[in-house]
Structure 1
Amino acid sequence: MATRIEHVLTYDAPAADVAAMLSDKAFRDQVCVDMRTVSHSVSIEGGVDAKKVVIEMEQPTEGVPGFAKKFVGATTTIVQSEDWKSPTHGDIHVTIPGKPGEMVGTAVLTEADGVTTETVKLDITVRIPLVGGKIEDLIGGLLIKALKSENRTGRAWLAR
């Protein structure tokens, strides 16, 4: 059984501008910097209309409860792959290499009156007996925190 999260990011900009931002390597790099990753790499193939984005980041795990430390270690590497078949719909797959879990879902951009919302829906699955559900909840909380950070970075980016 997976844990589902849904989070909405709002931008005071047209969907075309948000799609362009999400296609910009410099923006994706800035998001990783603002999230205080230990290290990261970003690759983007394609453009605004259709793209493949791969972000590999190493994040510190300070503050992670003891039961989860054994699972993630002092730092953890996360690989986020996005496959955007259009400017407004992307399929997301997140893995932690060597760990028994993943996140799978979508990001959808919708615009109304010049304001764009990005709705991210992800199913988090951790295949560890007894503590898998707890770790899924923990990852869900960390993911929401990361999406809020990305939203702050995106709002500042679009306001430039």
Structure 2
Amino acid sequence: MPTQFDYRHTWSFPADEVYPTMVEADFLRARLEQIGGPGAALLEHSVDADGARYRLRQGVDPQNLPSLVRTVLPGDVVIEREESWRRDGPGSYTGDTRVTIPGTPGSATGVMRLRDAGEGSELHIRIEVTVKVPLIGGKIEEMVTGQVTGLLESESTFTQDWLARRR
């Protein structure tokens, strides 16, 4: 049974300033360079007036994974992540994400919302993690959600710092 969780982060910048930064190719490359892990790369990228779509590859050093996860994912772990965003209106964006780990029984999907909130904006992501391994899949899903939350927090901090440096 998949494990679902929510992630929220607020920024001191409005959504109409955060969104174009989050989907900018140079920003994505810099973020991947700093926190994307071994072999990280921006594989595809397109932005137009209707929205944005990009595909990322991220690497995870197996030593950074809990031992139970390493038993199912031996060797280097490569994560492929696709995100698409669309503008709903002023200060409001919606997106979808899909994460795969090629050659493994794990995947994740999510819905993302970026909205103005008070003096800044809030990102809300609802993610569903699925690991199809009999008996221990649920336990691995719980561990993966912790890893994903940590990654999202690192990305959010990177975004805040990036925006602050450009003001």
TM-score by length of structure 2 reads 0.89
Aligned-residue Cα RMSD (Å) equals 1.5
Matching residue of 1:61: 62
Identity %: 26
Matching residue of 1:157: 162
What is the aligned residue count?
Answer: 160
User: Distance between the aligned counterparts of 2:100 and 2:36, measured in 1?
Assistant: 19
Matching residue of 1:39: 39
CA contact (8 A) 1:19 1:48 kept: no
Structure 2 gaps of 5+ residues are none
Give yes or no for the alignment of 1:26 onto 2:31: no
Give yes or no for the alignment of 1:133 onto 2:138: yes
User: Distance between the aligned counterparts of 1:122 and 1:34, measured in 2?
Assistant: 23
CA contact (8 A) 1:8 1:119 kept: yes
Runs of 4+ in 1 over 6 A off after TM superposition: none
CA contact (8 A) 1:94 1:103 kept: yes
Cα deviation per residue 1:75-118 (whole Å; 9 max; x = unaligned)? Answer: 20001101213261001100001111210111100102331111
Cα deviation per residue 1:5-34 (whole Å; 9 max; x = unaligned)? Answer: 111121111111111011111211222223
User: Distance between the aligned counterparts of 1:67 and 1:125, measured in 2?
Assistant: 16
TM-score by length of structure 1 reads 0.92
Amino acid in structure 2 at the alignment position of 1:64 = L
User: Distance between the aligned counterparts of 1:53 and 1:73, measured in 2?
Assistant: 27
Give yes or no for the alignment of 1:105 onto 2:110: yes
The worse-fitting range, judged by mean Cα deviation, of 43-52 and 7-16 is 43-52
User: Distance between the aligned counterparts of 1:112 and 1:142, measured in 2?
Assistant: 27
CA contact (8 A) 1:79 1:94 kept: yes
User: Distance between the aligned counterparts of 1:49 and 1:70, measured in 2?
Assistant: 43
Matching residue of 2:86: 85
1:48 Cα deviation (Å)? Answer: 6.2
Amino acid in structure 2 at the alignment position of 1:39 = G
SS in 2 for 1:85: strand
User: Distance between the aligned counterparts of 1:48 and 1:40, measured in 2?
Assistant: 27
